[in-house]
Structures are given as C-alpha cells and as structure tokens.
Amino acid sequence: MPMTDVGATRVHWTRDGAGPPLVLLHGLGGDISFWDADHERLAPDFDVITVDLRGSGATAGSEELTIGELAEDVRAVLDDAGVQRAHTLGFSLGGLVALELALTHPDRVGGLILASTYARMGAQARRFLDAVLDVYSRGATNRQMYDLIAPWLFSASFVADPANAGFFNLTDADLEDQGRAEWCALYRAQQAFDVTARLGELTARTLILTGQEDHLVSPHDTRVLTNGIGGAQQYVFHAAGHLVNVERPDEFLDVVRDFLLPSE
C-alpha cells in the first residue's frame, strides 16, 4: 500500500481510476473506508486518491496536531503521486483540511468541494462535541462513542426508518479501531481551526454541500462559507443530515460529477 513519509509520520493513501485527479478526505472518526462506495463509482471518471489523515486508518497519529499539518500531509501525498493539481473533496474534518490546502497551496487545488463543513465550528456543535470529548477522555469505549454520536449524523427520518437499523446496531467488530488519543487530538485540531477571515483569499472554484437537517453544521455556518468565498456555489440535500453521501448517495455523486466534469 502506498505510504508517504512526512517527517516521522508515514501517511497511508490509495489510488485508483482514470481521469482528472480527485482527492477524497474523510471526517473525524473515519478513514479511507468512509469513501468505499463513492470511490468505486467515481473511479471510472477520476484518478481517485484517498488519504488516511493522521491518527486514522493506517496513518499513525500524535497527541497534538493541527489542520495545517494535515494539509501538508496531503500536499506531500500529491508530490509522491506525481500530481501537480487535483480536485479536492473534503467531508467535515476533511473539509477543513481541504480548505487549508486550498488556502496554503492554491496551485495544488483544482475544483474544491466542501461537504458538511465550516470555516469555524459553530457554537451548538462545539458544545455537543466538547461534551463527547469529555466522555471519551473519561474512558468511554468506541462502541459507547458510536452509540452516542451516530443518531446525530443523520436526519430524523433516516434514523426512524427501520430499513436503516443496521447503521445503528453494529457489533464491536464493525467499528473502526481508532485510538482514543488520536480521536481527541483530531477533535482538538478542529476546535482550534478558524479561517473565517481568510475565506476571501480562496481562488479555487468552490462548491459547498450541506444537508438540510445537519445537526453539526448549521445554516449560519454554511452561509459564512458561501458568502465568504467569492463565486462559491451551494447545494442543499433536502431532508438529509450530516452524512449526505450516505443518505443521498446517487444525488451526491451526480452533484460531484456535474461540478467537476465539463459538460458535454
């Protein structure tokens, strides 16, 4: 499996497909497997590169890190892959990394898609996730953490639908084995992130994706991005929560393709 050395850290990534390069960046608590379904369907149209952010999947973490360091990891992966410029799609935490990469290395980012993310974490999400951090720091298990967080990642109708019960009745073996210290370090990096004042510097063509019922990214958070980034487009997934690619998979991929691929 490809590994890129960034100082003492070895960053794991994968590559598959044909077409313009597209980097996929997962959210907090996830790894490259978050994109499995999307990756398979995007590969016919794109040279898809997925990255395990520090402290996730096969990439080791540390007790302290910044979003800037994660963005530099992605830049190093692009260097290793021989890719000068790539479309970049970041989800939640991955959206912060994509924002930082586009601000710090604008020559490396083509189209920028920010899914379920923000320039600065909103007050409601911060209160909830700060409480989650406290619970996890006191020794909660991965299973307890998942049971606490999962219902808030989806719309009310998705949670209530018996057909979706499998998303909430996972066994311990189903859960990703991310360490407590790694999760906490990544969340603290999110806590500290704020590029609100820098949004006007972005030059990448940008699409902002949001779920109408996202409990973690408020309409205000989305407006800050849309109004702050010159020429940014916005797409709202009706009656969808934070995990828009899970609740609306076909619609999600159609929107991504329509934005990144030239019309015929």
Q: Give per-residue pLDDT as tens, 166-219.
A: 888 877 666 666 688 899 999 999 999 999 999 999 999 999 999 999 999 999
Q: Is 116:216 a contact under the CB 8 Å cutoff?
A: yes
| Tokens describing residue 57 | 């999947």
> Residue type for 199, please?
L
Percent of the chain with pLDDT over 70: 97
Query: Burial of 215 by CB count in 10 Å (0-12 exposed, 13-18 middle, 19+ buried)?
Result: middle
Token pair in block for residue 248: 């609306």
Instruction: Answer with the residue of higher pLDDT: 167 or 238.
Output: 238
Note the pLDDT of residue 260.
97
The band of 25, judged by pLDDT with boundaries at 50, 70 and 90, is very high
Between CA 256 and CA 57 the distance in angstroms is 25
Residue 49 above 60 pLDDT? Answer: yes
DSSP string, 110-163: EEEEEES--SB--HHHHHHHHHHHHHHHTT--HHHHHHHHGGGGS-HHHHH-GG
Mean local confidence (pLDDT), 48-66:
93
Q: Does domain 3-260 have CATH number 3.40.109.10?
A: no
Q: Report the predicted TM-score, pTM, of the whole model to 2 decimal places.
A: 0.96
